[in-house]
């Protein structure tokens, strides 16, 4: 079983529009994937979330990146 993924940092962001929808999707999907996929990488998933949010312009350059 994989270690749980802590995405609490997503709740600390003031997200709206597509970024907010993406964050909600990630919070639900991470639980499903971590339980279903023995090779699930929490670290990779976290990096991917941050990348997408940065591309959406929601992460401050000095903040969450």
Choose among 47, 14, 19, 42: nearest CA to 29: 42
In a domain, 50, yes or no: yes
What global pTM score does this model have? 0.76
Does any domain span residue 65?
no
Question: Residue 41 sits in which domain range?
Answer: 8-55
Give me the chain's average pLDDT, please: 83
14 within domain boundaries: yes
Q: What is the pLDDT of residues 17-30, one digit of tens each?
A: 889 999 999 999 99
pLDDT of residue 61: 42
Domain count, the chain: 1
Asked if the structure places residue 40 within a domain, the reply is yes
| Structure confidence by residue, pLDDT tens digits, 36-53 | 988 989 889 999 999 999
């Amino acid at each position: 079983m994989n270690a749980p993924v802590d995405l609490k940092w997503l709740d600390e962001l003031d997200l709206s529009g597509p970024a907010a929808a993406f964050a909600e999707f990630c919070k639900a999907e991470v639980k499903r994937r971590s339980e279903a996929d023995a090779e699930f990488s929490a670290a990779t998933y976290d990096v991917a979330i941050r990348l997408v949010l940065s591309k959406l312009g929601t992460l401050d350059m000095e903040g969450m990146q």
